[in-house]
């Protein structure tokens, strides 16, 4: 299924923000490793923990995509149903 907002603009915004944050986080980790490599500094435990923390983050991105496809962000009721719901018997 192609990624498009279609009838789900809130879910699409959630997906866009998640992907943007994922790109920024990956870039930050890559730049950190590049800085360590260029300065010939040793990689420490915190560097590898950063890489390890990206793995569950990528899993969260995959889950976000699945939830978007399943309708996350869609209204629970259509607008034409709301007057019926709000009527007091």
pLDDT in tens, 16-59: 898 999 999 999 999 999 999 999 999 999 999 999 999 999 99
Answering whether pTM is above 0.85, one says no
* Residue 28: predicted pLDDT: 96
- The C-alpha R_g of the chain, in whole angstroms, comes to 21
Q: Work out how many domains the chain is built from and give that number.
A: 1
* In-domain check, residue 86: no
Place of tokens 């496809």: 69
| Residue range of the domain that includes 13 | 9-72
Residue 64 lies in a domain: yes
The b/e string for 46-79 (b: 16+ C-beta within 10 A; e otherwise) is eeeeeeeeeeeeeeeeeebbeebeeebbeeeeee
Give the integer Cα–Cα distance in Å for 6 and 76: 16
The answer to whether 41 touches 13, Cβ cutoff 8 Å, is: no
pLDDT(70) > 70: yes
In a domain, 61, yes or no: yes
Percent of the chain exceeding pLDDT 90 equals 49
Q: How confident is the model at residue 66 (pLDDT cuts 50, 70, 90)?
A: confident
Mean model confidence pLDDT for the chain? 83
In a domain, 80, yes or no: no
Task: Give residue 84's pLDDT.
Answer: 67
Asked whether residue 2 is assigned to any structural domain, the reply reads no
In the chain, what percentage of residues exceed pLDDT 70?
78
Which DSSP state fits 43? P
Residue 45 domain flag: yes
């Amino acid at each position: 299924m192609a990624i498009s907002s279609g009838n789900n603009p809130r879910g699409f915004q959630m997906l866009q923000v998640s992907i943007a944050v994922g790109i920024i986080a990956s870039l930050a980790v890559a730049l950190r490793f590049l800085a360590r490599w260029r300065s010939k500094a040793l990689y420490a435990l915190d560097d590898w923990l950063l890489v390890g923390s990206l793995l569950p983050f990528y899993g969260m991105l995959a889950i976000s995509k699945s939830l978007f496809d399943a309708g996350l962000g869609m209204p629970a009721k259509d607008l034409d149903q709301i007057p019926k719901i709000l009527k007091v018997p």
